[in-house]
């Protein structure tokens, strides 16, 4: 193995992927390049937080579409990592035959494909929301199948798994799909074929890989049988447009795609690792500023209403009246369980915000507690540095937003641990 594996971090946010890899092995995993851009915003706080912590890499703050092919080609990265936006990935061809993408933000995945085309890394580790596997609603799984076909066209294989962080000892019930992508001519890919004892193309023999031998199975153990026998094999057409137009398969929470075929299985965690509870990550009450406590009756009643069951009559845009129903939830978040999924709206007055009771007093989570739920160091998002070198503090609202948008770095660390073994 080389002395270091060079990493390009795309859609870098405040550095979750980098933290996970460096926590695994800072000497082996070296992030050399990073790009972070928040569209339609003057403030680029996420980039400035990243830049505050990581001054030893080439960090750029521009629309990924403005990074030229030549710039990508100069980045001799071994690994590309990133949590990219989940949008619409259907594709079409223009009259001239070029591949195009329907949906404005759907192009962002194709920027990863463009980077891969120029750089040809050995591996990629990508992350997205788990609903990607069922998108869009009128052709479930199509978007993901298009991505698999795009990687297959570039001679890569893809292993995927939906991971709930709380199932593997972390403090948050956060479900995200992770991809491990590897080049088919890599030593790892060759060893996979050898282990599977393949005598030719065929995906049916990969059950053992998904249940025990694959990267995710080794780090995130699952039960030895499919849930409700949900298992499917699918052959992807070589034409990506045909995949987009005609896809009719299923995509479950675990799977592997090799040479244009995929096997997907609905799996369940062994649940052998007890999670961290919300109560154990809280800061000492003596240190909590008064602004996080909810004391006025109006706000307390609002939280009670938002978290309670309700049936509301609404009128659609066509004039049709219907009843909107919403089930009730616990009046406050339970401290003896891992937390619910944190969203970008965390800290605002809404149903998804964590609302806790400690010693008879009601309050919101602090930014530090939000960082702990994502396995970030305390006060990771407190400071930023602008292009002139001026350091300033980040607002609480933005700190909570960034953590709602981040990933659980402890999960990334375990993926990196397995790549280190590879």
Supply the residues annotated as catalytic.
86
CB 129 within 8 Å of CB 177:
yes
Backbone angles phi, psi at 148, to 5 degrees: -60, -45
Compute CA distances 245 → 92, 146, 255, 263, 292, whole Å.
Answer: 9, 10, 22, 21, 50
139: its two tokens: 């052709």
5-10 and 79-83 strand pairing:
parallel
CA nearest neighbour of 29 among 66, 59, 2:
2
Instruction: Output the furthest CA–CA distance in the chain (Å, rounded).
Output: 71
CA nearest neighbour of 232 among 213, 253, 217, 211:
253
List of residues 6+ apart from 97 with CB closer than 8 A? none
| Strands of 41-200, DSSP E | 58-60, 79-83, 91-93, 99-101, 123-129, 156-164, 175-183
Nearest-angstrom CA–CA distance, 13 and 52: 12
CB 4 within 8 Å of CB 22:
no
Cα 184 to chain centroid distance, Å, stands at 24
Backbone angles phi, psi at 371, to 5 degrees: -65, -40
């Amino acid at each position: 193995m080389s002395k270091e594996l060079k990493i390009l971090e795309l859609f870098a946010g405040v550095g979750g992927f980098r933290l996970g890899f460096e926590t695994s092995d800072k000497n082996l995993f070296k992030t050399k390049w990073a790009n972070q851009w928040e569209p339609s915003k003057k403030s680029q706080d996420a980039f400035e937080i990243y830049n505050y912590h990581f001054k030893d890499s080439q960090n750029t703050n521009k629309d990924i579409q403005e990074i030229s092919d030549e710039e990508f080609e100069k980045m001799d990265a071994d690994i590309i990592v990133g949590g990219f936006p989940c949008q619409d990935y259907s594709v079409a061809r223009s009259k001239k035959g070029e591949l195009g993408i329907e949906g404005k933000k759907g192009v962002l995945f194709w920027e990863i494909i463009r980077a891969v085309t120029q750089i040809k890394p050995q591996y990629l580790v990508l992350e997205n929301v788990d609903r990607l596997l069922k998108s869009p609603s009128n052709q479930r799984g199509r978007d993901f199948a298009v991505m698999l076909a795009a990687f297959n066209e570039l001679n890569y294989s893809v292993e995927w798994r939906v991971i709930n962080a709380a199932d593997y000892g972390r403090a948050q019930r956060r479900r995200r799909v992770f991809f491990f992508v590897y080049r088919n001519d890599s030593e790892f890919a060759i060893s996979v074929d050898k282990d599977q004892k393949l005598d030719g193309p065929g995906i049916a023999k990969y059950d053992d890989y998904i249940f025990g031998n694959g990267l995710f199975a080794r780090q995130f153990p699952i039960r030895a049988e499919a849930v409700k026998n949900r298992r499917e094999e699918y052959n992807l057409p070589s034409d990506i447009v045909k995949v987009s137009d005609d896809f009719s398969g299923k995509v479950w929470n675990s799977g592997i795609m090799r040479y244009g075929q995929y096997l997907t299985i609905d799996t369940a965690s062994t649940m052998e690792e007890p999670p961290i509870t919300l109560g154990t990550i809280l800061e000492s009450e003596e240190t909590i500023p008064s602004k996080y406590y909810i004391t006025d009756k109006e706000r307390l009643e609002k939280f009670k209403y938002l978290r309670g069951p309700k049936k509301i009559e609404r009128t659609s845009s066509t004039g049709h009246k219907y009843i909107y129903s919403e089930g009730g939830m616990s009046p406050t978040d339970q401290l003896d369980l891992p937390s619910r999924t944190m969203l970008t709206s965390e800290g605002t007055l809404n149903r998804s915000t964590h609302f806790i009771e400690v010693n008879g007093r009601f309050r919101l989570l602090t930014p530090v507690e939000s960082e702990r739920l994502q396995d970030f160091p305390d006060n990771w998002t407190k400071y930023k540095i602008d292009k002139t070198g001026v350091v300033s503090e980040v607002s609480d609202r933005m700190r909570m937003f960034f953590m709602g948008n981040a990933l659980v770095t402890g999960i990334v660390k375990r993926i990196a641990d397995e790549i280190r073994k590879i």
